[in-house]
Amino acid sequence: MKINKVAVIGAGTMGAGIAGQIANAGVEVWLLDLPGDDNPNALAERGLERLRDPDQPGLISSDAGAYIHPGNTRDDFDQLADCDWVAEAVVERLDVKKTLYQRIDKVCHDQAIITSNTSTIPIRLLVEDMPATFRQRFAITHFFNPVRFMRLLELVRGDDTDPAVLELLAEFCEQQLGKGVVSCPDTPGFLANRVGVFAIQCALHAAFDLGLKPQEADALFGRPMGIPKTGVFGLYDLIGIDLMSDVVQSLVDILPANDGFHAEAAPIPLMTRMIENGQTGNKQGKGFYRDSDQGFREVLDLNDESYGPAPRILLPLAEKAEQAGIKHLLDDESLYGQFAWRVLSRTLSYAASLIPEVGDSPVAIDDAMKLGYNWIKGPFEMIDEIGVDYLIERLVADRRPVPAFLSEAAGSSFYRVEKGQLQSRLIGGHWQIIQRPEGIIRFSEKRLTLKPRNRCAVASWYDLDGIALVEFHSKANTLDADSIAMLDDAIDQVESDNMRGLILHNDAQHFSCGVNLQVVREFYRGEDMDGLDKFLAHFQQVVHRMANVKFPVVAAPVGLSIGGGFEVILHAKQVIAHANSVTGLVESRVGLVPGGGGCKETLYRWIETLDCRDNITPACWKAFMNLGYAKTATSPVIAKQQSMLRPDDRYIINRDRLLAEAISAIKNPSSQVAFERPDLVMPGRQVFEEMCVWLEESKDKGLFMPHDVTVGTEMARIVTGGDVDPGTVQSEQDFYDAERRSFLSLVATEATRARIDSMLDEGSPIRN
Ligand code: NAD
């Protein structure tokens, strides 16, 4: 059977998100909720509306919305008759779900698969009243919020679930919905929430017990541990303090009395009061953090329960640990080190204690935490990083229990590479090769089996069966002279060794957040404008060379590719992007112009899209708008509409399949052809002046700040040719030179420096 039509019942947070991702896959989906009084489809329509939220779009393009049919469970239930999959995502109430299943069973065809998105109710209870024919076709598909962006899908089997049903669901969810499917037994909280909620609770209690401020705890239980920067208090605010306390309570209710979770689950009186006062987090505008009326971030004082300023806290220990690794935190004897040890030692040993209850291998737990909670490493990978023996010794010293699976690993590790293959430990000291489905290659795993051909602190390149793979790996994968030199070296070697091609990729949160502004700041603070010009020129030369080499060049970006990171992508011959990748040239926000060929590419691409070689003025305006507004595209589909990507560029919904696709694209003709950048006849002075007038008028209307006009003027100068006669002919190199001149002239202004300072020191640029 093939899944051609789906129904999602319940159009709340999860149901709408699931329907959105099904629509992103181009599959028809009915989204049903309870009938409304005035408008029967109001709830489903509201769910669809939420998917169009520009801040976190659940759809990869507005066109995808056409696959969703909003409806209601009174008038449209017969639509289920020809659905191949019915995904139930109604409120977490057993009685409501059970009543619904009775109705579904009467309408659906006898092959239809039915799943629940429940977080806490065991399958056994969900289907206890249902006939065997229904139970065989029933499973839990536990998606994470927001569905488009969270990679994990926990697929839970019941005692009676037909293996063919699980196989079909796994294939559909992995290949068409792009999920990392982790099979789970029907144990409480499955895998991700079982470990994730434990870790959050542990961090929360540790912070209260040790008297840490929320910002201190978040600075530690965040990036330095490879955990998203929302930390613990930020995450509580994000999820909702009331919702989290319900989740904790439901785990308390369903976990056996001897489970370690209970020791971390005691309610905290302050939080009970917060819920009573409506301080439930972001949705109410106040929780542990809030924005003041003046727009400043404030934080709750955990002692006197008042809000006060929340300046960005930079903890040297946390900063150092981000580079030096988790052990640096654990070895620290300060209160911060004690916090880190308490949280991590308990979380890691709790994860180890779950084996064999939830399965026999660490891979599923590690995958669940990486894909469902966005941790950079799973618990067992973290144990390997700090050392199994180190963890055991310190647990023993603390008189804490050492789980059996952990003590079995004494003197060894949970992962190893044998004969070029990555293996994971099983119970009883056995090992197994980690095998991913055909077409899935995670570079973070593949890398463990390879030796870099060249490596520096910020970038490396590897030989992947005759293809050079360049990986940036600085903080946020920002670029500096060394990253560009690494790319240059890889290009040299592909040429000299006659390798098959070049791939730009990393299995990280982001491909690259652009040129490291710290580098730019060091140049101007050191009055070294020549050095800055050389840096830019080198960047331009290398990306230009890459666009013109004889061999194939494929970029396979994930996450953010912005600023200089996107300029690198713009010079790859073909782009195979992840469906959630975000692209754009955002330099104007920090008072700069793209100086690595980005302005030039934006213009040439608009000329191609508009097919206006004879009169490029319309393309100049389009490029001017893209650059001036620092437009970003939240999907490759939108990037194509913005001429950021070219018609031959493609996207892949499952990011684990990106690398394999990029490897096979090396053979495609479009990855081999250098794109032509012929001389252009520039509109010059007149259009340049029209743009300047438009900038001034927009400023007078209050739309732009004064420095926006200065920056916009430089963009106008680059894309029109500036103060030159109409008809002046400009080469590709002229554009590169113009970009550098404008970049340097802007860097010389105090206003640009103020934007860069606030970006680097406060985390966002000022508006000036
Ligand atoms: P929600 O409250 O946002 O939405 C539930 C929706 O179900 C509402 O729109 C409600 O009107 C509708 N509904 C209630 N009874 C119905 C019925 N009989 N027929 C049709 N619609 C009905 O809830 P949610 O957060 O989307 O959670 C849905 C399910 O997903 C729950 O089982 C929850 O445990 C699970 N879940 C939630 C999350 C999360 O982060 N929110 C994550 C994973 C799983």
pTM of the model: 0.94
Position 265 scores a pLDDT of: 96
- How far apart (Å, rounded) are the C-alpha atoms in residues 628 and 698? 12
Q: Tell me the chain's radius of gyration from C-alpha atoms.
A: 27
Nearest to 313 by CA among 218, 223, 206: 218
Answer yes or no: are the C-beta atoms of 695 and 678 closer than 8 Å. Answer: no
**Residue 523 structure tokens:** 């140049």
pLDDT digits (tens, 9 = 90+) for 393-418: 999 999 999 999 999 999 999 999 99
Q: What is the whole-number distance in angstroms between the Cα of residue 477 and the centre of ligand 1? A: 37
Position 681 scores a pLDDT of: 98
Cβ–ligand 1 distance for 117 under 6 Å, the answer: yes
**Burial class, 386, CB count within 10 angstroms (exposed 0-12 / middle 13-18 / buried 19+):** buried
- How far apart (Å, rounded) are the C-alpha atoms in residues 201 and 347? 10
**Ligand 1 atom nearest to 16, measured from its CA:** 26
Please state, in angstroms and as integers, the Cα–Cα distance from residue 185 to each residue in 48, 130, 463, following that order: 32, 20, 39
Residue 67 CA to its chain's centroid (Å): 24
Answer yes or no: are the C-beta atoms of 19 and 29 closer than 8 Å. Answer: yes
Secondary structure of 259-305 in HEC code, one letter for each residue: CHHHHHCCCCHHHHHHHHCCCCEHHHCECCEEECCCCCEEEECCCCC
Pairing of the two strands 152-156 and 138-143? antiparallel
Cβ–ligand 1 distance for 33 under 6 Å, the answer: yes
Number of H helices, E strands in the chain: 31, 26
DSSP code at position 172: I
Closest protein CA for atom 29 of ligand 1: 89
- How far apart (Å, rounded) are the C-alpha atoms in residues 280 and 310? 18
Per the DSSP assignment, residues forming a β-bridge with 156 are 140, 184
Cβ–ligand 1 distance for 14 under 6 Å, the answer: yes
The residues near 541 (Cβ < 8 Å, ≥ 6 apart) are none
**Ligand 1 atom nearest to 93, measured from its CA:** 32
- How far apart (Å, rounded) are the C-alpha atoms in residues 4 and 195? 35
Dihedral of CA atoms 472, 476, 482, 486 in degrees, nearest 10, equals 10
- How far apart (Å, rounded) are the C-alpha atoms in residues 598 and 512? 15
Q: Length of the chain in residues, anyone?
A: 768
Question: Is the peptide bond between 269 and the residue preceding it cis, with omega within 30 degrees of 0?
Answer: no
| CB atoms closer than 10 angstroms to residue 20 | 29
Q: What is the whole-number distance in angstroms between the Cα of residue 655 and the centre of ligand 1? A: 27
**Residue 304 structure tokens:** 């006197």
Checking phi first, is residue 704 left (phi over 0); if not, alpha (psi -120 to 50) or beta? beta
**Ligand 1 atom nearest to 88, measured from its CA:** 29
Q: What is the whole-number distance in angstroms between the Cα of residue 15 and the centre of ligand 1? A: 7
**Is 384 strand, coil or helix?**
helix
| CB atoms closer than 10 angstroms to residue 538 | 15
Half-sphere exposure of 490 (CA within 13 A, CB side): 34
Q: What is the whole-number distance in angstroms between the Cα of residue 490 and the centre of ligand 1? A: 50
Place of tokens 């409120």: 91
Q: What is the whole-number distance in angstroms between the Cα of residue 163 and the centre of ligand 1? A: 27
DSSP secondary structure string for all residues of 161-224: --HHHHHHHHHIIIIIS--EEEEE-S-TTTTHHHHHHHHHHHHHHHHHHHT--HHHHHHHSSGG
Position 762 scores a pLDDT of: 84
**Residue 139 structure tokens:** 């499973």
Q: What is the whole-number distance in angstroms between the Cα of residue 114 and the centre of ligand 1? A: 16
Pairing of the two strands 501-505 and 467-472? parallel
| CB atoms closer than 10 angstroms to residue 163 | 9
Position 319 scores a pLDDT of: 87
**Burial class, 554, CB count within 10 angstroms (exposed 0-12 / middle 13-18 / buried 19+):** buried
Nearest to 669 by CA among 501, 467, 504, 505: 501
Helix, strand, coil percentages, rounded to 5, for the chain = 50, 15, 35
Closest protein CA for atom 1 of ligand 1: 12
Answer yes or no: are the C-beta atoms of 354 and 364 closer than 8 Å. Answer: no
Q: What is the whole-number distance in angstroms between the Cα of residue 708 and the centre of ligand 1? A: 45
Cβ–ligand 1 distance for 15 under 6 Å, the answer: yes
- How far apart (Å, rounded) are the C-alpha atoms in residues 422 and 444? 11
Place of tokens 């990978």: 381
Position 671 scores a pLDDT of: 74
Secondary structure of 635-666 in HEC code, one letter for each residue: CHHHHHHCCCCCCCCEEECCHHHHHHHHHHHC
**Residue 371 structure tokens:** 């894909």
**Is 402 strand, coil or helix?**
coil
Position 676 scores a pLDDT of: 87
Q: What is the whole-number distance in angstroms between the Cα of residue 89 and the centre of ligand 1? A: 5
Task: Give the burial string for 224-257 (b: 16+ CB within 10 Å, else e).
Answer: bbbbbebbbbbbbbbbbbbebbebbebbeeebee
- Using alpha carbons only, what angle is made at residue 253 by residues 251 and 258, rounded to the nearest 5 degrees? 85
Q: What is the whole-number distance in angstroms between the Cα of residue 24 and the centre of ligand 1? A: 21
- How far apart (Å, rounded) are the C-alpha atoms in residues 564 and 290? 33
Q: Where are the alpha helices (DSSP H) in 401-528?
A: 404-408, 443-446, 481-496, 517-525
Position 672 scores a pLDDT of: 82
Cβ–ligand 1 distance for 126 under 6 Å, the answer: no
| CB atoms closer than 10 angstroms to residue 532 | 20
Angle between helices 241-254 and 192-210 (to 10 degrees): 110
Q: Return averaged pLDDT per consecutive 10 residues of the chain, 768 residues in all.
A: 96 96 98 97 96 92 96 98 98 96 97 96 95 98 96 97 98 98 94 97 97 95 92 93 91 94 95 94 92 88 93 86 92 96 98 95 96 96 98 98 97 97 96 95 96 97 97 95 98 97 96 97 97 98 96 97 98 97 98 98 98 97 97 97 96 97 89 88 98 97 96 98 98 98 98 96 89
**Residue 679 structure tokens:** 């001389």
Amino acid letter for position 367: D
Position 257 scores a pLDDT of: 95
**Residue 653 structure tokens:** 């919904």
The residue whose CB lies within 8 Å of the most ligand 1 atoms, and thus the one to mutate among 14, 34, 374, is 14
Cβ–ligand 1 distance for 86 under 6 Å, the answer: no
| Strand residues in 348-430 grouped as ranges (E) | 415-418, 421-425
**Burial class, 322, CB count within 10 angstroms (exposed 0-12 / middle 13-18 / buried 19+):** middle
- How far apart (Å, rounded) are the C-alpha atoms in residues 734 and 603? 13
Answer yes or no: are the C-beta atoms of 567 and 594 closer than 8 Å. Answer: yes
Answer yes or no: are the C-beta atoms of 577 and 630 closer than 8 Å. Answer: no
The residue whose CB lies within 8 Å of the most ligand 1 atoms, and thus the one to mutate among 45, 76, 91, 142, is 91
The residue whose CB lies within 8 Å of the most ligand 1 atoms, and thus the one to mutate among 8, 9, 13, is 13
Nearest to 365 by CA among 414, 303, 327, 407: 414
The residues near 697 (Cβ < 8 Å, ≥ 6 apart) are none
Largest CA distance in the chain: 82
Please state, in angstroms and as integers, the Cα–Cα distance from residue 172 to each residue in 136, 153, 327, 373, following that order: 18, 11, 40, 22
Answer yes or no: are the C-beta atoms of 124 and 159 closer than 8 Å. Answer: yes
Cβ–ligand 1 distance for 244 under 6 Å, the answer: no
